Amino acid sequence: MSNAAMVALYARVSSEQQSKRGTIDSQIAALKERIQADGAQIVEDMCFVDAGVSGATLVRPHLERLRDAAALGAIDRLYILSPDRLARKYAYQALLMEELGSY
Protein backbone atom coordinates (compact mmCIF):
# COMPACT_ATOMS: atom_id res chain seq x y z
CA MET A 1 0.00 0.00 0.00
CA SER A 2 1.32 3.45 -0.94
CA ASN A 3 1.74 6.34 1.46
CA ALA A 4 1.59 8.87 -1.38
CA ALA A 5 -0.90 11.68 -0.85
CA MET A 6 -3.90 11.74 -3.16
CA VAL A 7 -3.55 15.06 -4.94
CA ALA A 8 -6.27 16.96 -6.79
CA LEU A 9 -6.43 20.22 -8.68
CA TYR A 10 -9.28 22.60 -9.39
CA ALA A 11 -9.22 25.13 -12.21
CA ARG A 12 -11.94 27.45 -13.48
CA VAL A 13 -12.49 30.24 -15.94
CA SER A 14 -15.76 32.11 -15.93
CA SER A 15 -16.36 32.87 -19.57
CA GLU A 16 -16.50 30.79 -22.70
CA GLN A 17 -14.19 33.36 -24.33
CA GLN A 18 -11.53 32.76 -21.65
CA SER A 19 -11.96 29.05 -22.15
CA LYS A 20 -11.39 29.37 -25.90
CA ARG A 21 -8.31 31.58 -25.37
CA GLY A 22 -6.69 28.76 -23.42
CA THR A 23 -6.43 30.46 -20.05
CA ILE A 24 -7.77 27.29 -18.47
CA ASP A 25 -4.91 25.34 -20.05
CA SER A 26 -2.36 27.75 -18.58
CA GLN A 27 -3.93 27.34 -15.12
CA ILE A 28 -3.79 23.55 -15.39
CA ALA A 29 -0.18 23.64 -16.63
CA ALA A 30 0.88 25.90 -13.73
CA LEU A 31 -0.87 23.67 -11.20
CA LYS A 32 0.66 20.48 -12.61
CA GLU A 33 4.09 22.12 -12.58
CA ARG A 34 3.66 23.03 -8.90
CA ILE A 35 2.44 19.53 -8.05
CA GLN A 36 5.49 18.04 -9.73
CA ALA A 37 7.80 20.56 -7.98
CA ASP A 38 6.29 19.43 -4.67
CA GLY A 39 7.26 15.84 -5.54
CA ALA A 40 3.68 14.70 -5.94
CA GLN A 41 1.78 13.12 -8.81
CA ILE A 42 -1.74 13.62 -10.06
CA VAL A 43 -4.03 11.30 -11.99
CA GLU A 44 -6.40 12.74 -14.57
CA ASP A 45 -9.46 11.66 -12.56
CA MET A 46 -8.36 14.14 -9.90
CA CYS A 47 -8.29 17.13 -12.28
CA PHE A 48 -11.50 19.07 -11.69
CA VAL A 49 -12.00 21.74 -14.35
CA ASP A 50 -14.98 24.06 -14.83
CA ALA A 51 -14.41 25.94 -18.08
CA GLY A 52 -16.81 28.77 -18.82
CA VAL A 53 -18.60 28.56 -15.45
CA SER A 54 -19.09 31.56 -13.17
CA GLY A 55 -17.51 31.58 -9.73
CA ALA A 56 -20.54 33.46 -8.42
CA THR A 57 -22.37 30.18 -7.84
CA LEU A 58 -21.42 27.01 -5.99
CA VAL A 59 -23.43 24.90 -8.43
CA ARG A 60 -20.72 23.85 -10.88
CA PRO A 61 -20.36 20.31 -12.25
CA HIS A 62 -16.70 19.73 -11.44
CA LEU A 63 -16.76 21.64 -8.17
CA GLU A 64 -19.55 19.31 -7.08
CA ARG A 65 -17.47 16.27 -8.12
CA LEU A 66 -14.53 17.70 -6.17
CA ARG A 67 -16.67 18.19 -3.07
CA ASP A 68 -18.01 14.64 -3.39
CA ALA A 69 -14.49 13.20 -3.72
CA ALA A 70 -13.34 15.17 -0.68
CA ALA A 71 -16.33 13.97 1.35
CA LEU A 72 -15.35 10.38 0.50
CA GLY A 73 -11.82 11.01 1.76
CA ALA A 74 -10.30 10.63 -1.71
CA ILE A 75 -8.28 13.87 -1.54
CA ASP A 76 -5.35 14.63 0.75
CA ARG A 77 -4.15 17.83 -0.91
CA LEU A 78 -5.92 20.30 -3.24
CA TYR A 79 -4.12 22.70 -5.56
CA ILE A 80 -5.79 25.85 -6.89
CA LEU A 81 -4.22 28.84 -8.63
CA SER A 82 -5.89 31.33 -6.27
CA PRO A 83 -8.89 31.38 -3.91
CA ASP A 84 -11.05 33.20 -6.47
CA ARG A 85 -10.87 30.10 -8.66
CA LEU A 86 -12.92 28.32 -6.01
CA ALA A 87 -15.44 31.15 -5.70
CA ARG A 88 -15.73 34.86 -6.35
CA LYS A 89 -17.44 35.65 -3.06
CA TYR A 90 -15.29 35.49 0.03
CA ALA A 91 -18.13 33.86 1.99
CA TYR A 92 -18.25 31.02 -0.56
CA GLN A 93 -14.46 30.67 -0.44
CA ALA A 94 -14.57 30.41 3.35
CA LEU A 95 -17.40 27.88 3.22
CA LEU A 96 -15.54 25.70 0.72
CA MET A 97 -12.24 25.93 2.61
CA GLU A 98 -13.96 24.94 5.84
CA GLU A 99 -15.83 22.11 4.12
CA LEU A 100 -12.77 20.76 2.30
CA GLY A 101 -10.58 21.09 5.37
CA SER A 102 -12.95 19.12 7.54
CA TYR A 103 -12.52 15.83 5.69
Check which CATH number belongs to the domain holding 40 and give it: 3.40.50.1390
Residue 89 falls within a domain, yes or no?
yes
Q: Where are the alpha helices (DSSP H) in the chain?
A: 16-21, 23-37, 61-71, 83-86, 90-101
Note the pLDDT of residue 102.
Answer: 80
Residue-range definition of the domain harbouring residue 81: 7-101
Residue 94 falls within a domain, yes or no?
yes
Query: Would you write out the chain's pLDDT as a tens digit for each of its 103 residues?
Result: 356 789 999 999 886 655 556 688 999 999 999 999 999 999 999 999 999 888 889 999 999 999 999 999 999 999 999 998 999 899 999 999 999 888 6
**What is the rounded CA–CA span in Å between residue 60 and residue 76?**
21
Residue 37 falls within a domain, yes or no?
yes
pTM above 0.95, yes or no: no
Residue 26 falls within a domain, yes or no?
yes
Note the pLDDT of residue 1.
Answer: 39
Count: domains in the chain: 1
